[in-house]
Copies of this chain bind each other. A is one copy, B any other.
Amino acid sequence: MQKLIEKVKTLTEALPYIKKFHGKTVVIKYGGSAMTEDSLKKSFARDVVLLKYVGMNPVIVHGGGPQIGKLLDKLGKDSEFVDGIRVTDADTMDVVEMVLVGKVNKEIVGLLNHFGGKAVGICGKDGGLIKAKELRIEGRQMGHAGEVESIDASVIESLDTNNFIPVIAPVGGGEGGRSFNINADTVAGRLASEINAEKLILLTDVEGVKSASGELLSTLTVKESEALIDDKVAEGGMVPKLNCAIDAVRGGVHTAHIIDGRVEHSVLLEVFTDEGIGTLISLS
């Protein structure tokens, strides 16, 4: 009995957080290990459904790099990369879209529904959610690798209103019905600004943002974040993530979080504990 009492006591400890975030929207970029390791997948799905049931509105944006690579390999297609971004021809885009929308997205939907959620998976073409255009990197045309031109979030709002959990594949639609593959972090960040999210949570495979001396930085202001980039303390894949967090916070999102998706229940740890996990970026 005493053990059960301890358990339910834990529930009441979550009460202040539940109150604080009641009715608030949380955009979660889902990717990395949290999306590939079986136990992490399950703990993530449970976390998201719990957020929904205790009164928040989680919105999931997912990536899908590894799965895309596997199918391209099977089909014997090579890709060129510029600055880590795939130059995407029409055939490759077909594969990208099929994997992201037809496989990865639906697996996440299936998992969330299995744990009691009512998830609906869409991509940026549905309901005109994401209007996209071709990306150019230093003048180089990237084919079907695109960037967000504008967002019309009415389909998200309609799903939220009806208590569905939106799961979004980062594929946008452009002129003449062309499809574009867009970076999932960017989609999550832009969407979070657009729907006035309380939090943007980016799941990564690192502990968080680190100082020059290698220590985890628990909180950063936007200015400190920019300094880390300018001073080249933040490098590689962390730079776009930091930029995405900075843009979201400047765009009205209350806090952005770069957290370690390799930790079980990382999303709940972020939302339901004072310590949080990873790095929190806020205006000041």
Q: Which residues of A contact B (CB under 8 A)?
A: 1, 4-5, 7-16, 18-19, 22, 43, 46-47, 49-50, 53-55, 71, 74-75, 94, 97-103, 105-107, 109-111, 113-116, 118-123, 125-128, 154-155, 158-159, 161-162, 164, 171, 173, 176-177, 179, 263-265, 268-269, 272-273, 275, 277
Contact = CB atoms under 8 A, between A and B. Distances in A.
Contacts of A277: 1
For the residues of A in contact with B, the DSSP-based class is: helix
Contact of A11 (B14, B98, B173, B275): B14
30 contacts: A1-B277, A7-B272, A8-B265, A8-B269, A8-B272, A11-B14, A11-B50, A12-B47, A15-B46, A15-B115, A18-B53, A22-B53, A55-B55, A74-B75, A98-B99, A98-B102, A98-B103, A101-B105, A102-B103, A106-B179, A109-B125, A110-B179, A113-B173, A120-B126, A121-B123, A122-B122, A127-B164, A155-B162, A158-B158, A158-B162
A119 B127 contact: yes
Contacts of A154: 162
The 10 closest A-B pairs by CB, nearest first: A102-B102, A98-B102, A8-B268, A101-B102, A98-B98, A110-B177, A158-B162, A10-B10, A120-B126, A12-B46
Contacts of A114: 176-177
Nearest to A97: B102
A131 to B, nearest CB: 10
Q: How many copies does the complex hold?
A: 6
Nearest to A71: B98
A16 to B, nearest CB: 7
B126 A109 contact: yes
A76 to B, nearest CB: 9
B101 A50 contact: no
A253 to B, nearest CB: 23
Contacts of A22: 53
Nearest to A123: B106
A265 B19 CA distance: 19
A185 B11 CA distance: 28
Contacts of A272: 7-8, 11
Contacts of A177: 107, 110-111, 113-114
A171 B103 CA distance: 12
Given A55-B53, A128-B113, A9 B106 contact: no
B106 A101 contact: yes
Nearest to A16: B116
A45 to B, nearest CB: 10
A53 B19 contact: yes
Contacts of A107: 177
